[in-house]
Amino acid sequence: MLHDPNRVYIFDTTLRDGEQVPGCQLTTPEKIEIARELEALGVDVIEAGFPISSPGDFQSVVEISKAVKEPTVCALTRANKGDIDAAVESLKYAKRPRIHTGIGSSDMHIKHKFNSTREEILERAVEAVKYAKKSVEDIEFYAEDAGRADIEYLAKMVEAVIGAGATVVNIPDTNGYCLPDQYGSKIRFLKENVRNIDQAIISVHCHNDLGLATANSIAGLQNGARQIEGTINGIGERAGNTSIEEVVMIMKTHQTLGLHTNINSTKFYEMSRMVSTQMRMPVQPNKAIVGANAFAHSSGIHQDGFLKMRENYEIIRPEDVGFPSASIVLTARSGRHALKFHLERLGFQLNKEELADTYKRFLTLADSKLDINDIDLQGLMAYRLVK
């Protein structure tokens, strides 16, 4: 089924799971704007919403289906006919529609969420896939809380839904519980023990409750998964989802993984800012890849190494993710090399003694200011000239 075994499909759920963050609801026009940017970014699948949940969500799926041409447009449902009917209706304009249906797979969910039995849940799972398949060819099945599910039962469920017509099987770590080796071995077990697994793509959907979403997603890929579900800036329920920019740049940086995507990574920075603004959700400055400080160097030792050779302290070039540029931030921890770099940038050439003298005054100033800007530096040099 997979033409290229090393191609990883990127499934973006910023507009569905990401939008479940309290206070981050988007209007349909805002969703369309983000969907068009996701298309330009090169994502393979856009999960546009949960149509049965509200008239607004239904309408968003309809309008996004009309607005994008390349990506698959996906609608989420629970394993019941009403949800699936609403999803089918909302996807009628999609060029490449997908229904994402599923049910709990852990004993915790089976007993305490559905008050049911393993046998009944298996039956409902198969029934939902068969019903959705009557209307839409591309069916993704999610085994909710797979991270805590019994592996033998999970394998049985995956085999049954692929047999019923699922083209993608999603193995979510719904509560962000797994350690990377546990999650990876879960994916490997399915790859090795589900007879018809070659007829579907294994997808990973990891949450970040313990800060392991990205690590778990990569572990899934290393063990045979070929679709990653995530969001821009890692937004999502509770502590968030796998961050798409992180997993893509891990694959780009670690060529030995032998994996690639269709993503144009130079659009990440701009995309991150757009999602942050539209959802009124700031990106933490130390966020990997797109945070304001991701390419800022303030420690004197780091600055010196960076200025001698960028690769000493950067494994990704800022331009690879569309970042304006790496910055040498001047603080009280900066060294002479960084100060000299900025003074030369402003057109000041100093000999060794002049630099030593200016550096002393710079440190006094830096102790009283959080960071030093060009105006401060020009003030330092004006003082020299007056002197």
Q: pLDDT per residue over 296-305, tens digit each?
A: 766 666 666 6
**Is 145 a residue whose pLDDT tops 50?**
yes
Tokens of 213: 């979403």
**Is 387 a residue whose pLDDT tops 60?**
no
Closest CA to 263 of 73, 10, 2: 10
Mean pLDDT of 202-220: 98
pLDDT at 305: 67
Query: How do strand 138-144 and strand 45-49 relate by DSSP bridges?
Result: unpaired
> When comparing pLDDT for 361 and 138, which is higher?
138
pLDDT at 297: 66
Distance CA 60, CA 91 (A): 10
**Is 9 a residue whose pLDDT tops 60?**
yes
User: Among 238-247, 297-306, 333-342, 367-376, which range has the highest average pLDDT?
Assistant: 238-247
Tokens of 239: 């502590």
Tokens of 26: 């988007």
> When comparing pLDDT for 315 and 223, which is higher?
223
pLDDT at 2: 47
What are the distances in angstroms from CA 346 to CA 177, 291, 339, 378? 51, 26, 11, 8
- CA contacts within 13 A on the Cβ side of 346: 17
Mean pLDDT of 152-164: 98
The least confident of 46-55, 284-293, 313-322, 350-359 is 313-322
pLDDT at 337: 83
Distance CA 383, CA 128 (A): 76
**Is 19 a residue whose pLDDT tops 80?**
yes
Distance CA 233, CA 143 (A): 25
Tokens of 191: 């790859």
State the CB neighbour count (10 A cutoff) for residue 244: 31
Given pLDDT bands bounded at 50, 70 and 90, which one contains residue 294? confident
Mean pLDDT of 166-192: 97
> When comparing pLDDT for 363 and 288, which is higher?
288
- Which single residue is written with the structure tokens 């309809």? 62
Query: How do strand 138-144 and strand 97-104 relate by DSSP bridges?
Result: parallel
Cα 310-250-15 angle, rounded to 5 deg: 120
Phi, psi (deg, nearest 5) at residue 23: 85, 5
pLDDT at 304: 67
Given pLDDT bands bounded at 50, 70 and 90, which one contains residue 119? very high
Mean pLDDT of 165-183: 97
Task: Taking the CA atoms of 103, 108, 111 and 117 in sequence, report the sign of the dihedral they define.
Answer: positive
pLDDT at 327: 64
Given pLDDT bands bounded at 50, 70 and 90, which one contains residue 384? low
Mean pLDDT of 3-20: 92
Distance CA 49, CA 148 (A): 26
Share of residues in the chain with pLDDT > 70 (%): 92
**Is 1 a residue whose pLDDT tops 50?**
no
Q: pLDDT per residue over 80-108, tens digit each?
A: 999 999 999 999 999 999 999 999 999 99
Mean pLDDT of 10-17: 96
Share of residues in the chain with pLDDT > 90 (%): 71
Tokens of 163: 């047999």
pLDDT at 334: 79
The least confident of 45-49, 146-150, 255-259, 318-322 is 318-322
pLDDT at 21: 83
Q: Integer distance in angstroms from the first to the last C-alpha of the chain?
A: 76
The least confident of 52-66, 246-260, 323-337, 345-359 is 323-337
Mean pLDDT of 67-78: 98
Average per-residue pLDDT for the chain: 91
Distance CA 358, CA 349 (A): 12
pLDDT at 291: 86
